[in-house]
Amino acid sequence: MIEFPPVIDLDSIYVLKEYFGYESFRRGQQAVIDAVLAGDDALAIMPTGAGKSLCFQVPALMMDGVTVVVSPLISLMHDQVMQLVQNGVAAAYINSSLSFEQNRIALERAAAGAYKIIYVAPERLETDDFMYFARRADIAMVAVDEAHCVSHWGQDFRPSYLNIGKFVAGLGRRPVVSAFTATATDLVREDIMRLLGLQDPIVRATGFNRENLYFEVRKPRDKFSDVIAYLEAHPGQSGIIYCATRKSVDEVAAGLQQLGFPAASYHAGLPQHERLTVQQDFVFDRAPIMVATNAFGMGIDKSNVSFVLHYNMPKNIESYYQEAGRAGRDGSAADCILLYSRQDSQINQFLIDQVDEDNSLTDDELSAAKARDYRRLREMENYCNTTNCLRQYILDYFGDTDPCDCGNCGSCNSDTQVTDVTIDAQKILSCVSRMHGRFGLSVVIDVLKGANRKRLREAKLNELSTFGIMAGQPDELIRQVAQFLIQEGYMQVIGDRYPVVGVTQQARAVLKGETTITMPLAEILNEPTSSKAERRRLSSAKKLTAGIEADPQLLANLKDLRMKLATKEKVPAFMIFSDAALLDMCIKLPTNEDEFLTVSGVGKVKLEKYGAEFITEIAR
C-alpha cells in the first residue's frame, strides 16, 4: 500500500477567512505563520497595527493542542480574548482579574482541551497551579507578545518576563516558541532570543511603514482653534489628542466639552478607577475623543482610531511614532497631525535639563544619556521643520531602507512649488558665516530680520552687514530655507544642549553665485490648513479604496446599527465590525450571504451573527 503524506486540511488562508474574515495576509504575516507551522521558533518585529496577533492566532487554530500567549497587560488580554470569542474561537485568559476559583476552573478546562488559545500574565507561569496544568496539557506553542519586555534595554522591562525561558525549559515536550514586538534595537533583539531561549528562530522584521497613516505638521497661531476646525471637519470620528502636560489635558478637554464635543480626559494624576472608566468610555465610543498625556495608550487596541493629534511635540521620534501609530490600526485611512510651536521645543529642552540626578546612573552615564536625549529632541524638531517627505524622514530615522512611495503626507501633498531661493540662501549663508558658528538658528533669524533685541546688541550682532537684510520676510520662510540648507549640507549644526549653526565648504559656491538653490516651498506660508487638510484626507482615503466612494449616509446608518448591537451585547463597537469592514460594505453593497462573506473582516461566525441585519440595512 502506498503511504500518503498527511493531508493538511486547514490551510492558513482558509482559517484567516473563516475566523477572521480577511482575504489575504499582510506583509510578513505569512512567513511567520509558515515557520511556526513547520515547527520553527520565530521572532517577528512589526510596527504597531501591522497585525502581529494573527501571526500566532492563525497557527494556534491549526496546531494540535493549546497555544499559551504571554501578554503583559490585563486589558490587552481581555480585549483580545473578547475579539476571539466574537469570532468563534475557543479562548480564555488566566490573570489576577479572575478569582482563584475562576482561574482554577479555566485551567482545568484548558487542560481538558477546551481552548485553542489561553492568555496568561507572565507572573502566572511561576505558580504551582499553572505548572501543574502545563505538565498535563498538550502545549503546541508559547507565543510571547510584547517580547521586548524581557529586556533591560527595552522601554517597558518586566522582570517576570525572565521566567518565560525557564518555564519553557521545564516542559516535558518543548513547544514552538514565537515572540512578537514592535520595537527591537539590536540589543533588545539579542536579549529576546537569548532570554526566551529561542532555538534557531526565523527572524522577520517588516518595514516600519504604515501606508494608511497620513502625516502632517502644522504650526497654527492658535492650536485650540485648529483642533476645533479639525474636529468639525471630522464629525463622529474617534481619535486621541495628546498633550504634554496634565494641565493642558484638563484645559483642552474642558474646552472641547464646553463646545459639546464628546471628549474625555486621561492622565496619570487621575485615580485608578476613574482612569478605567474613561478608558472604557473611549473604547466603547461613549466618549470617542480622548484628550490625554502619554500615559494613555499602552494596552489600548481600539482599531477605529481615525486620528491622533499632538497638541505638543513629543520628546523624540520613537515616542511620536508609537503614539501616532495608534491611529488606523484597522487599515483605514487615518490622520497623524502634530501641532508644533517653538515653545514645545523649549519645554522638552527644559525637561531634559532638569534631570540632574539619577541614582541608577554614574555621572558619566547621566551626561551621556542627556546628550542622547538632546540629540533625539533635535531629530524630532527636524521632523517638525523639514519640507521633505515626513514618512521618509521617519523611515530613515528607524533605519528602514524600504523605498517609500509616499504621496500621503503634509510635505508630499502640500501645494508646493519648486522655487528658486538662491537669493534667500545667499543672505542666510552669508549671515551665518559672519556669525562664526557661535549661535543657533533662532538668533540667526533674529539678525536677518533685524530684531530689536538687547541680546543682539550685547553681542554686537546688530552691527553685522547682514543685520535686517531679510526684514519683512516671514520667519517661517527663513526657517524653511535654512532647514533645507542644513539638510542639503550647506550648513551644519553642532552641539547638543546649545546647538549652533555654521557654514560648510559647500556653501562657498552658493555665495559666489556659482550654484542655484531650488526647493519645494508652500505657495502661501501659514495658510489656514483645515480645508486643505480635508481635501488631502479625502484624496488619501480615495487612494486606499481604489477610487470608489462610499455613500456617507449608508456608512452612518451602518455605524448606528453597529452601535445598537454593541450596546446590546456590551462589547465595544469595533469588535462587532471594524470601520474598515463597514467601509467595505458600503463599497461592495452585499445583497446576500455569499456576497456578505466577501466583505473584509466578515468570517463565518460574524456572518451568522450579524449578516442578516446588515444586509437588510444595506438593502434599505
Residues near Mg ion, by CB under 5 A:
52
- Report which of 487, 536, 510, 537 is spatially closest to residue 387, judged by C-alpha positions: 487
d(CA 308, CA 290): 9
**Contact 42/54 with Cβ under 8 angstroms?**
no
With respect to Mg ion, which residue has the nearer C-beta, 52 or 219? 52
Interface pick for ligand ADP out of 32, 43, 46, 394 (rule CB under 6 A): 46
Smallest distance from the beta carbon of 34 to ligand ADP, in angstroms?
Answer: 14
> Which residue shows C-alpha cell 508559547?
142
* One-letter identity of residue 538: L
Looking at 303, 385, 392, 408, which residue binds ligand ADP (CB under 6 A)?
303
Question: Does 26 engage in binding with ligand ADP (CB under 6 A)?
Answer: yes
304 φ, ψ to 5°? -105, 45
Applying CB under 6 A, does 12 fall inside the site for ligand ADP?
A: no
Q: How far apart are CA 268 and CA 279, in angstroms?
A: 12
Comparing CB distances to Mg ion, the nearer of 52 and 376 is 52
Of these, 53, 103, 294, 345, which contacts ligand ADP (CB under 6 A)? 53
Name the binder of 54 from Mg ion, ligand ADP, none, CB < 5-8 A by kind.
ligand ADP
Nearer to Mg ion, 328 or 611 (CB): 328
Q: By CB under 6 A, is residue 297 in contact with ligand ADP?
A: no
Helix (H, G, I), strand (E, B), or coil: what is residue 118?
strand
Least Å from the CB of residue 394 to ligand ADP: 17
**329 binding ligand ADP? (CB under 6 A):** yes
Secondary structure (DSSP) of 586-607: HHH---SHHHHHTSTT--HHHH
**Strand, helix or coil for residue 315:** coil
CB of 91 to ligand ADP, least distance (A): 14
27 belongs to the binding site for ligand ADP (CB under 6 A): no
52 binds ligand ADP (CB under 6 A): yes
CA-to-CA separations, 447 to 205, 317, 386, 586, in angstroms, rounded: 47, 30, 22, 57
Residue in 59, 154, 288, 331 binding ligand ADP, rule: CB under 6 A: 331
Reported as type and span, the H/E element at residue 475 is helix 475-487
Minimum distance of Mg ion from residue 399's CB (angstroms): 22
- Look at residues 475, 508, 477 and name the one whose alpha carbon lies nearest to residue 490: 508
* Bridge partner residues of 178 (DSSP): 42, 143
Give the nearer residue to ligand ADP in terms of CB position, either 26 or 604. Answer: 26
The smaller minimum CB distance to Mg ion, of residues 73 and 456, is found at: 73
Residue 206 in contact with ligand ADP, rule: CB under 6 A: no
The interface partner of residue 22, options being Mg ion, ligand ADP, none and the CB cut-off 5 to 8 Å by kind, is ligand ADP
Cα dist from 117 to 90, 92, 102, 276, whole Å: 7, 7, 17, 26
Least CB distance to ligand ADP at residue 145 (A): 7
Q: Would you say 49 or 410 has its CB closer to Mg ion? A: 49
CA 465 – CA 447 distance, rounded (Å): 10
Question: Based on CB atoms, which residue is closest to ligand ADP, 80 or 316?
Answer: 80
- For position 330 contacting ligand ADP by CB under 6 A, the verdict is yes
Q: Measured between alpha carbons, how far is residue 482 from residues 389, 439, 490, 507, 581 in Å?
A: 17, 14, 9, 12, 45
Binding mask 363-402 for ligand ADP (x = CB under 6 A): ----------------------------------------
Contact range with ligand ADP by CB under 6 A, out of 21-29, 385-393, 499-507, 515-523: 21-29
Q: Which residues of 488-585 form beta strands (DSSP E)?
A: 491-494, 500-503, 518-522
Which residue of 22, 340, 374, 484 would you call a contact of ligand ADP, by CB under 6 A? 22
Question: 272 exposed, middle or buried (CB, 10 Å; 0-12, 13-18, 19+)?
Answer: exposed
- Does 54 bind ligand ADP (CB under 6 A)? Our answer is yes
Least distance from C-beta 180 to ligand ADP, angstroms? Answer: 7
In whole angstroms, the minimum distance from the beta carbon of 174 to Mg ion comes to: 25
446 binds, options Mg ion, ligand ADP, none, Cβ within 5 to 8 A by partner type = none
- Smallest gap from Cβ 71 to Mg ion, in A, equals 9
Cα–Cα nearest to 324, from 220, 219, 210, 228? 210
Contacts of 311 (CB under 8 A, 6+ apart): 223, 227, 241, 242, 243, 244, 248, 252, 339
C-alpha cell at 371: 546628550
How many Å apart are CA 127 and CA 131, to the nearest integer? 6
Compute the distance between CA of residue 4 and CA of residue 138 in angstroms, rounded to an integer.
26
Contact region for ligand ADP (CB under 6 A) — 22-30, 149-157, 307-315, 589-597? 22-30
Alpha-carbon gap, residue 179 to 70, rounded angstroms? 9
The reply on whether position 306 binds ligand ADP by CB under 6 A is no
Residue type, 450: G
Answer yes or no whether residue 148 interacts with ligand ADP by CB under 6 A.
no
Q: In what order do the strands lie in the sheet with 176-181?
A: 91-94, 117-120, 66-70, 139-144, 176-181, 42-45, 202-205
Q: Smallest gap, in angstroms, from Cβ of residue 56 to Mg ion?
A: 10
The partner in contact with residue 410, picked from ligand ADP, Mg ion, none with C-beta cut-offs of 5 to 8 angstroms by kind, is none
Among 301, 344, 446, 579, contact with ligand ADP (rule: CB under 6 A): 301
Q: Which residues bind ligand ADP (CB under 6 A)?
A: 22, 25-26, 29, 46, 48-54, 301, 303, 329-331, 578
